[in-house]
Amino acid sequence: MSIIDSTINKTLRLNDMNGSGTTGKYSRGIVTIHWMSAFLIFILFPLGKYMSGLDPIEKLGLIKFHGILGLIIFLLTIARSVLFFTTKRPEKLNTGSWFNDLIAMVIHRAFYILLLLIGVSGIVTLVLGGYLDAISIESTNLILPRDEISPLLIHNMLAVLLIALLAVHVAGVIRFNIKHKTNAIKRMT
């Protein structure tokens, strides 16, 4: 085994601390948060794209709905992060390739990071873009033009990146199941 393989394998095993690897499934809390988050993402992304083409007066109610659901995902991600490090986890899936194992680890970590960054950028957008004030007094006059809300651009770019990452994640799960003739999804049910 080369030094690179050894280093990567040690990195991939870092998650095996805290009593992980002793169950065949993720905890009920992690599973519930995983699927709730996925469901909410599939609502929020198209809703956000739809709202981008609307005038502020047309989307004020949708912004409130989008913000509430986004905040729920943000809080769920924080809870999932805590559960990830405090509950037992199943053994890591071995793809047979250290490179694919590394990619899987990076993608999983990136989900947490992206969801947290999207939450923060959404909150900042609500505040700096005048949305919170507009919602509280139900007047769109306080909402800044889109091109003047720089956190909104960051929020949108992170959301697109999240959807791309989600596509890679789903493709990876399908590929793993086909290649290894197993049902890895059972770990998350």
In the chain, the number of structural domains is 1
Say if 3 falls within a structural domain.
no
The overall pTM is greater than 0.75: yes
Residue 175's identity, in one-letter code, is R
pLDDT digits (tens, 9 = 90+) for 149-182: 999 999 999 999 999 999 999 998 888 888 877 7
Say if 95 falls within a structural domain.
yes
Say if 40 falls within a structural domain.
yes
Average pLDDT over residues 27-46: 93
Q: Residue 81 belongs to what domain range?
A: 23-188
pLDDT grade for 4, boundaries at 50, 70 and 90: very low
Say if 12 falls within a structural domain.
no
Say if 154 falls within a structural domain.
yes
Say if 128 falls within a structural domain.
yes
- With pLDDT > 70 as the criterion, what percentage of the chain qualifies? 88
Say if 177 falls within a structural domain.
yes
Say if 161 falls within a structural domain.
yes
